[in-house]
Amino acid sequence: MSETKEKLVVIGNGMAPGRMLEHLFDAAPGRYDVTIFNAEPRVNYDRIMLSPVLSGEKAYEDIIIHDEAWYDTHGVTLHKAQRVTAIDRSAKTVTSDRGVTESYDKLVIATGSNPFIIPVPGHDFEGVLSYRDLDDVEAMLSATQAKARAVVIGGGLLGLEAGAGLKAQGADVTVVHLMPTLMERQLDAAAGYLLRRELESRDIKIITEANTKRILGDGKVEGVELEDGTIIACEMVVMAVGIRPNAAVAKQADLDVGRGIVVDELLRTSDPDIYSLGECAEVGGMCYGLVAPLYEMARVVAGHLAGAPVGTFKHSETPTKLKVTGINLYSVGDFAEGDEREEIVLRDAQGGIYKRLIIEDDTVIGAVLYGEVADGGWFSQLIKDKTDISEMRETLIFGQAYQGAEPLDPMAAVAALPDEAEICGCNGICKGDITTKITKLGLSTLDDVRAHTKASASCGTCTGLVESLMALTLGDAYNPAAVQPMCGCTDLGHGDVRRLIKAKGLKTIPEVMQELEWKTSCGCAKCRPALNYYLVAEWPDEYADDYQSRFINERAHANIQKDGTYSVVPRMWGGQTSSKELRAIADVVDKFDIPTVKVTGGQRIDMLGIKKEDLPAVWADLGKAGFVSGHAYAKGLRTVKTCVGTDWCRFGTQDSTGLGVRIEKFMWGSWTPAKVKMAVSGCPRNCAEATCKDVGVVCVDSGYEIHFAGAAGLDIKGTEVLGTVANEDEALEHIVALTQMYREQGYYLERIYKWAKRIGYDEVRRQILEDADKRRAYFDRFVFSQKFAQVDPWKERVEAEPQADMFAEYRPLADLTIREAAE
């Protein structure tokens, strides 16, 4: 090792330079002192995954490629939010817009590209966005919170992903496209039509052959006017018409620049000490925008920098996939028609399948697949290898499994794939990447493989391939049953079902069962209540609760007992009651001859042994005294237990009763994966036993210590501390946000302590305690859901009774022991 290391400066922190550094650190660890300038204020993340972030299937944290620790480990200096404005080639230095100057021995320019903004009038209004980085996605997400209408200009890959993502977030979306069919650069007209039909069925409006004339508004977007005079009202315009290589800094430094920064096939610019790669580079007259060739560039540059050259960069056809969950589309190569070209087409209108192969001189030169894309990798390989297909021509279109006498064993097919065969199209992950990581990191579950390689972590269509690879690599050590299915009706686990309900926008139980291929006609007593909860939680405003899929207690709003009678528990806020309430309870007990009255563990009163027919009348009487349902039967908020706090107690530090009542009044009525019990203690003596609750508060002099994930039932477990906050408002916000996070992520019947253990206590702290924006967003979603959930079911039934005969189900259908009355 030399005592003074060479200095490598990288301008840009995207995926291509990130990959280059990985290769470099593998091949020549410690050779360079590396400094990176990143115009964005963050680490290297996976830009390909912006679409799932926009649609809500992923969070930013999920798409980070290199976390802070990675930069530390490799001694990389990362200047965030600094744009390089000047390169001084004679002094060999670069200078940023904040005045930081670094000298280099070798320089890599990876400035990527800029979105092309059509210079129509109004293009600079507030509300005009592009779709390139996380800032754009965050801007779109905050606009969709306000239920904005969006016009996406551009019906190519990026525009359609943006449109589908915005739609998934609830926006009203119109895509306008200049050409007659969608994605015309990747798809032929037939596949473009199928795609259009599918998107329109998802309620995305599409206007083709539409030329944008101007953006309407007064400094702020109000609509879009097309050349033909059509006006589309909207609050947001997303320009996704294309990208331009960003070569500004290279041009200013007098390097050769054409469309992009001109480099040779070793990715060297006209200055031998300066390389360029990524979307800003122009090689052999071409600029690239898809990840596979960019990664290939990274490999070439890294080899060169490491002093171990690995060949030159050569053009190859890159397959394209649309990353919209539920749409399977694959295209590769050249598919224009021509005199010497022939085509093979397969159509299945019913199944929504379209496949077209373009053949020239007995080799495949292009493929367009829609609906069924499993053979995409194989066709792509045929194109790359220029395989002579004359022998298998007749069965070629049916795919790899139909070649040869016997259908190919899928396992053997995966084994036969070369290491560079692409497995995960969404993330550009090849077979070799996956098998190497499985072996090197000892990955044994699908979740691990997804976490470490990102393969199948996006749309999931390649999950089967990844599983086959794991089986091949791990042999007997691989246990595919690691995911516990929800029940016998499906092979999917709770996590997958929740994810797919959201991703596919499934809004009824029959829709879930149809789309996720349930094996039974209408589920079972295990999956139906779970699905009903997931749908209530996901679509609080749209989903119509399916009572027949709720357990009897939640249907009857009382607790069934061993003899078929019910028990009724009215709410006593924070465990407080009054003489008036107690008198009302006493009267109800006498009137209905209720055999047992008992004080519960949650500081309220239970009346047991009530006949089902009597329930409505019991509620009516309790309601007159001001009682609402205590939801003692619900997978929802049960009780908030309190001590008397500063009102009475000589040790009390805060108004624990008041806070408990406030929490209960705010949160009652909400449905949760399993029951939720809370408590507030006024001092660390903890008389309300807050430290064994799902969520607890222990008041201290300086504020409120928030606890979570306790248990005192089947399991006994003390709580974890979330953190201490200063006042009641903050305490409420934290508790509500934590509960909402659990509502969104918990599996049905999984208590908070199990959920928190599964996802990690630190993760809960990170999202709820440390990330104020996230906490606020959870809080807001809870509040929104409460608009529909906070309804007293007892009152609702008592009041609706005269018209709706809501009590019919509480009475027998007929009584044949009193015959005369019948006929």
Partner 1 sequence: MNAPFPAMSWVAIGQLSDIPVRGARCVVTPMGKIGIFRTAANEVYAIEDHCPHKGGPLTQGIVHGGAVTCPLHNWVIDLKTGEAQGADEGRVKTLPLRLDGEVIELGLDPSVLAETPPA
Chain Cα centroid distance, residue 257:
39
Q: Under the rule (CB under 8 A), what is the footprint of partner 1?
A: 520-525, 528-529, 547-553, 555-556, 560, 562-564, 808-809, 812-822
User: Residue 609 CB, nearest distance to partner 1 (Å)?
Assistant: 14
User: Residue 239 CB, nearest distance to partner 1 (Å)?
Assistant: 48
- Token pair 């709820």: residue: 768
User: Residue 558 CB, nearest distance to partner 1 (Å)?
Assistant: 11
Is 201 exposed, middle or buried (CB count within 10 Å of its CB: 0-12, 13-18, 19+)? exposed
Contact 416, 399 (CB under 8 A): no
Decide whether 563 or 590 has the Cβ nearer to partner 1: 563
Decide whether 334 or 613 has the Cβ nearer to partner 1: 613
Both structure tokens of 193: 């039509």
User: Residue 817 CB, nearest distance to partner 1 (Å)?
Assistant: 6
Give the N- to C-terminal CA distance of the chain in Å, as an integer: 104
What is the DSSP track for 413-445? HHHHS-TT-EEETTTTEEHHHHHHHHHHHT--S
User: Residue 673 CB, nearest distance to partner 1 (Å)?
Assistant: 18
Q: What is the CA radius of gyration of the chain?
A: 31
Decide whether 560 or 721 has the Cβ nearer to partner 1: 560
CA dist 201 → 52, 184, 501, 508 (Å): 20, 20, 17, 17
Between CA 818 and CA 823 the distance in angstroms is: 10
Q: At what angle do helices 615-624 and 579-591 cross, to 10 degrees?
A: 160
User: Residue 557 CB, nearest distance to partner 1 (Å)?
Assistant: 13
User: Residue 519 CB, nearest distance to partner 1 (Å)?
Assistant: 11
Decide whether 124 or 815 has the Cβ nearer to partner 1: 815
Chain Cα centroid distance, residue 386:
39
Decide whether 312 or 514 has the Cβ nearer to partner 1: 514
Decide whether 440 or 562 has the Cβ nearer to partner 1: 562
C-alpha torsion angle, residues 40, 42, 47, 51 (rounded to 10): -100
User: Residue 564 CB, nearest distance to partner 1 (Å)?
Assistant: 4
What is the DSSP track for 213-231? EEEEESSBEEEEEETTS-E
Can you point out the beta strands (E) in 555-600? 559-560, 566-568, 596-599
Between CA 613 and CA 175 the distance in angstroms is: 56
Decide whether 550 or 734 has the Cβ nearer to partner 1: 550
User: Residue 548 CB, nearest distance to partner 1 (Å)?
Assistant: 4
User: Residue 814 CB, nearest distance to partner 1 (Å)?
Assistant: 4
Both structure tokens of 315: 């053009």
Decide whether 562 or 650 has the Cβ nearer to partner 1: 562
Output the CA torsion sign for 763, 766, 768, 769. Answer: positive
Decide whether 435 or 565 has the Cβ nearer to partner 1: 565
Is 78 exposed, middle or buried (CB count within 10 Å of its CB: 0-12, 13-18, 19+)? buried
Decide whether 438 or 516 has the Cβ nearer to partner 1: 516
User: Residue 196 CB, nearest distance to partner 1 (Å)?
Assistant: 35
Between CA 588 and CA 615 the distance in angstroms is: 11
Output the CA torsion sign for 390, 393, 398, 404. Answer: negative
Decide whether 240 or 610 has the Cβ nearer to partner 1: 610
User: Residue 560 CB, nearest distance to partner 1 (Å)?
Assistant: 5
- Residue 245: CB atoms within 10 A of its CB come to 24
Between CA 543 and CA 410 the distance in angstroms is: 40
Decide whether 148 or 558 has the Cβ nearer to partner 1: 558
Between CA 316 and CA 299 the distance in angstroms is: 15
User: Residue 589 CB, nearest distance to partner 1 (Å)?
Assistant: 23
- Residue 405: CB atoms within 10 A of its CB come to 4
Which residue, among 296, 719, 747, has the nearest Cα to 494 in the 3D structure?
747
Decide whether 547 or 648 has the Cβ nearer to partner 1: 547
User: Residue 158 CB, nearest distance to partner 1 (Å)?
Assistant: 43
Is 772 exposed, middle or buried (CB count within 10 Å of its CB: 0-12, 13-18, 19+)? exposed
Contact 715, 640 (CB under 8 A): no
What does the chain come to in residues? 823
User: Residue 521 CB, nearest distance to partner 1 (Å)?
Assistant: 6
User: Residue 511 CB, nearest distance to partner 1 (Å)?
Assistant: 14
Decide whether 329 or 516 has the Cβ nearer to partner 1: 516
Decide whether 497 or 777 has the Cβ nearer to partner 1: 497
Both structure tokens of 662: 């406030």
Contact 160, 247 (CB under 8 A): no
H helix or E strand, kind and range, residue 583: helix 579-591
CA dist 757 → 190, 391, 530, 542, 707 (Å): 50, 57, 20, 31, 14
Decide whether 556 or 588 has the Cβ nearer to partner 1: 556
Decide whether 150 or 530 has the Cβ nearer to partner 1: 530
- Backbone φ and ψ for 175, nearest 5 degrees, come out as -105, 125
User: Residue 549 CB, nearest distance to partner 1 (Å)?
Assistant: 7
